[in-house]
């Protein structure tokens, strides 16, 4: 098969995109609709819920062990 300029058979979706053209969430790897997409610290698409979860996971734990309070 000869290759022609503009041949769609050679085009690939950008890295991090599904065939639908939607970017993937940087945390859960599911498609993110552009109208509701947020961006993470690296500028990658992320769901708002995933971003909030990531921020909660990065938050330092409170001082002390909460289980110590329940065993007294």
pLDDT score of 30: 95
Domain that holds residue 42: 17-58
Q: Is 10 a domain residue? A: no
Separation of CA 3 from chain center: 35
Domain count within the chain: 1
Q: Is 22 exposed, middle or buried (0-12, 13-18, 19+ CB in 10 A)?
A: middle
Residue 54 phi/psi, 5° resolution?
-60, -40
Q: Is 71 a domain residue? A: no
Q: Which two tokens stand for residue 50?
A: 């995933």
Task: Please tell me the distance from the alpha carbon of residue 17 to that of residue 31, in angstroms, as a whole number.
Answer: 8
pLDDT score of 71: 52
Q: Is 36 a domain residue? A: yes
Q: Is 67 a domain residue? A: no
The pTM score is 0.55
Residue 67 binned pLDDT confidence (cut-offs 50, 70, 90): low
> What b/e readout covers 28-39, taking b as 16+ CB neighbours within 10 angstroms?
eeebbeeeebee
Q: Is residue 4's pLDDT more than 50? A: no
């Amino acid at each position: 098969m000869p290759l022609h300029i503009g041949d769609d058979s050679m085009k690939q979706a950008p890295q991090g995109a599904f065939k639908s053209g939607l970017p993937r969430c940087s945390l859960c790897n599911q498609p993110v609709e552009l109208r509701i997409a947020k961006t993470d610290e690296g500028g990658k698409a992320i769901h708002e819920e995933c971003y909030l979860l990531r921020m909660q996971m990065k938050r330092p734990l409170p001082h002390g062990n909460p289980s110590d309070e329940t065993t007294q």
